[in-house]
Structure 1
């Protein structure tokens, strides 16, 4: 579930990086609300599955073709390849057991925090729309 959320938020992050002034204002002023919403979705997913996902970096060595440059008798450079070992880093997801009671408390606290942040976030969005009106033809 967190991966799907991340994929869903990717366009928002891209827009936040290079969006219109209104979009940047909204992104800047609703970041805490979005973070709490993302964490809440993750906790709800953990409760539904009965476990959490964590990630770790695994380094392994594999054979590859490595380029190197040699000069011929005429001074011309040529690229040749030889076998070599390279380290490759992979990300591995694994299951982690959860304490359902602790996750339930965490969910309840996040729901309360999200509810508390929803009204200020809505006001911030309205203020950003008022401060940076956009032309209806742009959207």
Structure 2
């Protein structure tokens, strides 16, 4: 039994990111966030409106069976669907926000590059 537990633990750990990958992911997080915000803001400006995305639950009633008496009964299952709703945005404010984000991006790219270099030095593969 113990060899199986050890094997399972080893497989689980081998699927994880390396220390270098975790370090790089950590130091580039702000850059990725800013790039994602730029993409969303540009899409809002191009569309002329924003998009609100929500996961909405709904219930479906199916048939379940009692394993002892082999009787069926109604049983609910909850599923989720994604609903997108247009929302109004102030285009002037979106343009100002986009300009600020584009101004911050090169600074974050420099920080991320320095951080990646440091991660590569700390955790060589």
Does the TM-score normalized on the shorter chain lie above 0.5?
A: yes
Q: Against the structure 1 CA distance between its residues 52 and 67, is the aligned structure 2 distance closer, same or farther, given a 3 Å change threshold?
A: farther
Report the counterpart of residue 109 of structure 2 in structure 1. 118
Residue 103 (structure 1) aligned to one of 84, 94, 99: 94
Q: What is the CA–CA distance in structure 1 between the aligned matches of 2:50 and 2:97, rounded to whole Å?
A: 13
Structure 1 residue runs of 4 or more that deviate by more than 6 Å after TM superposition: none
Q: Which consecutive unaligned segments of at least 5 residues does structure 2 have?
A: 1-14
Residue 91 (structure 1) aligned to one of 82, 98, 101: 82
Aligned ranges 1:1-139 → 2 under 5 Å: 18-71=16-69, 80-134=71-125
Q: Which consecutive unaligned segments of at least 5 residues does structure 1 have?
A: 1-16, 72-78, 135-139
Q: What is the CA–CA distance in structure 1 between the aligned matches of 2:25 and 2:55, rounded to whole Å?
A: 30
Aligned residues: 111
* TM-score between the two structures when normalised by the length of structure 1: 0.68
Name the one with the larger strand percent: 1
Across the aligned residues of Structure 1 and Structure 2, the Cα RMSD in angstroms comes to 2.1
Q: What is the CA–CA distance in structure 2 between the aligned matches of 1:108 and 1:85, rounded to whole Å?
A: 49
